[in-house]
Amino acid sequence: MEGKVVLRFGTIVSLLLLVALVGATIANAYSNAKVFDVRRYGAKPDGKSDSSEAFLAAWNDACKYEGKARVVVPPGEFVTDAIMFLGPCKGSMGFIMKGRLSPPDRLSDSGKWITFRYVNGLMVSGHGTFDGRSYADPSPKPSAMSLRFEFINDGVISHIRSVNSRNAHMQIYGCNKIRMHNILIKAPGNSKNTDGIKIGASTDVHVTNSVIGTGDDCIAILGKSSDIHVSQVFCGPGHGISIGSMGYYPNNEKNDVVTGVTVTDCTFRGTTDGVRIKTWATPNAGLVQNLTFSNIHLDSVDNPIIIDQEYCPKPPCNQVPSHIRIEDVTYDNVWGTSRSAVAVKLNCSKMYGCKGLVLKDINMIQKNGLDATSFCSNAVGATHGVQKPSPCL
Ligand SMILES: *[C@@H]1O[C@H](CO)[C@@H](O)[C@H](O)[C@H]1NC(C)=O
Ligand SMILES: *[C@@H]1O[C@H](CO)[C@@H](O)[C@H](O)[C@H]1NC(C)=O
């Protein structure tokens, strides 16, 4: 009896502490921050009025504020046309999205909807939703990306949803030190070019604790990127997590480089690809080096582990051996089921081959219960531990 009372008291104390902690965390996000509420600038939460000017006015005032500034979008349905939130700003900036934001059917910019550019110290958060309303887009081709982060230093993007984008949901471009977590991305599995998160020309980017279901790559890591870490991401439907594609543009050797990537503790369900490296079969040079995929669970995936140096989504393509070098790639503790017979496909360039591949503890079978197989072409490396399917390295 006494034990129980003590326990209950303990539980209550813990709960109170937890409430205090959560409260402190929320308060912390706003502490010393000046709030710039878009409604005070005339934004209307009626789901149809164009609030672009109000959003921009709130941002511009916040950007001039010498201190911590927070643009706040309260609950409600807002509509804005293409907007560029431009820095540099006087202090650190926050964009706290509590409501739901949508574009009109026809956007004034065919390539992007919401862009943050040249901001040092940016937080985008608030549990709100960016709804690209792709179904209302009159453009026959994939059009505006929903959220673009361009040349941001020190950014945190968390607790937001992006749904129904007209092109990629989010692009990180030319950024340094970005932390993304608790992000939900959703688009129909058959929607074209709706990459979840594209990361290009950026360094020190972490994506963690997020759920991505889309019609293209869940995450694509593109040229000129290094020190990129993905963990605890659920991907499906979609085309998996991709490095590349690389080698598409001529004379781009310095930019077609991806190094220092880790993908850890991720789950893929019902995707076309799992962990993929893709390069075009062109004479354009480049380098993919020092990647580790570890603790990867693949459930019912068409091509679970794949290096494709003949990437050609719309044949015919220029077919010369790829000039992109692939080196030091480790797959460690990868398990699950494949929807195709070939669970491990390492199809490397005849020109350079792939070097320094490591397969460690691979345990894959076919979805139908049969043994899977591996395919290697010009792939060089080592194997350790469990190997199912039997390796071809
Ligand atoms: C490989 O990448 C990891 C993760 O970014 C990094 O810590 C490590 O220093 C890199 N190793 C080499 C040899 O570049
Ligand atoms: C591997 O690439 C070659 C070209 O080098 C291509 O002809 C072949 O179909 C590919 N094999 C597989 C199994 O994808």
The C-alpha angle with vertex 371 and arms to 367 and 374, in degrees rounded to 5, equals 100
How do the pLDDT tens digits run along the chain, 393 residues long?
A: 344 444 454 454 454 444 444 444 454 555 689 999 999 999 999 999 999 999 999 999 999 999 999 999 999 999 999 999 999 999 999 999 999 999 999 999 889 999 999 999 999 999 999 999 999 999 988 899 999 999 999 999 999 999 999 999 999 999 999 999 999 999 999 998 999 999 999 999 999 999 999 999 999 999 999 999 999 999 999 999 999 999 999 888 889 999 999 999 999 999 999 999 999 999 999 999 999 999 999 999 999 999 999 998 888 887 799 999 999 999 999 999 999 999 999 999 999 999 999 999 999 999 999 999 999 999 999 999 999 999 999
pLDDT of residue 10: 47
Distance, CA 245 to ligand 2 centroid (Å)? 17
Q: Whose CA is nearest to atom 10 of ligand 2?
A: 347
**pLDDT value for 312:** 87
Q: What is the pLDDT of residue 93?
A: 98
Question: How much is the pLDDT for 30?
Answer: 54
Q: Which residue has its alpha carbon closest to ligand 1 atom 5? A: 260
| pLDDT score, position 319 | 79
pLDDT confidence of residue 328: 98
Among 213, 218, 170, 220, smallest CA distance to 188 is for 213
Measure 227 CA to ligand 1 centroid, in angstroms.
7
Does residue 289 have its Cβ closer than 6 Å to ligand 1? no
Residues 6 or more apart whose Cβ sits within 8 Å of residue 125:
29, 94, 95, 96, 97, 156, 157, 158, 159, 160
Query: Best mutation site among 288, 290, 291 for ligand 1, i.e. most ligand atoms within 8 A of its Cβ?
Result: 290
Encode the chain in three state secondary structure: CHHHHHHHHHHHHHHHHHHHHHHHHHHHHHCCEEEEEHHHHCCCCEEEEECHHHHHHHHHHHHHCCCEEEEEECCCEEECCCEEEECCCCCCEEEEECCEEECCCCCCCCCEEEEEECCEEEEEECCCEEECCHHHCCCCCCCCEEEEEECCEEEEEEEEEEECCCCCCEEEECCEEEEEEEEEEECCCCCCCCCCEEEECCEEEEEEEEEEECCCCCEEECCCEEEEEEEEEEECCCCCEEEEEECCCCCCCCCCEEEEEEEEEEEEECCCEEEEEEEECCCCCEEEEEEEEEEEEEEEECEEEEEEEEECCCCCCCCCCCCEEEEEEEEEEEEEEECCCEEEEEECCCCCCEEEEEEEEEEEEECCCCECEEEEECEEEEEEEEEECCCCC
Q: What is the pLDDT of residue 119?
A: 98
Catalytic choice (169, 239, 273, 299): 239
Q: In whole angstroms, what is the distance from residue 319 CA to residue 299 CA?
A: 32
- Per DSSP bridges, beta strands 354-366 and 93-97 are unpaired
Q: Give the ligand 2 atom nearest the CA of 321.
A: 5
pLDDT at position 314 is 84
Give which of 249, 236, 271 is closest to 323, Cα–Cα. 249
CA of 285 to the centre of ligand 2 (A): 20
This prediction has a pTM of 0.92
Cα 234 from Cα 196, distance rounded (Å): 12
**Res 6: pLDDT:** 43
How far is 80 from 59, CA to CA, in rounded Å? 13
- Measured in angstroms, how far is the CA atom of residue 348 from the centroid of ligand 2? 9
Task: Extract the tokens encoding 7.
Answer: 């326990």
Q: Which residues line ligand 2 (CB under 6 A)?
A: 310, 345, 347, 375, 377
Q: Is the CB of 227 under 6 A from ligand 1?
A: yes
Q: Is 239 a catalytic residue?
A: yes
The Å distance, Cα 319 to ligand 2 centre, comes to 11
Q: Give how far Cα 375 sits from Cα of 154, 306, 326, Å.
A: 42, 10, 17
Q: Say if CB 286 and CB 322 are below 8 A apart.
A: no
**Catalytic one of 137, 195, 216, 273:** 216
Q: Could you give the C-alpha distances from 55 to 65, 86, 336, 368, in angstroms and in order?
A: 16, 12, 46, 53
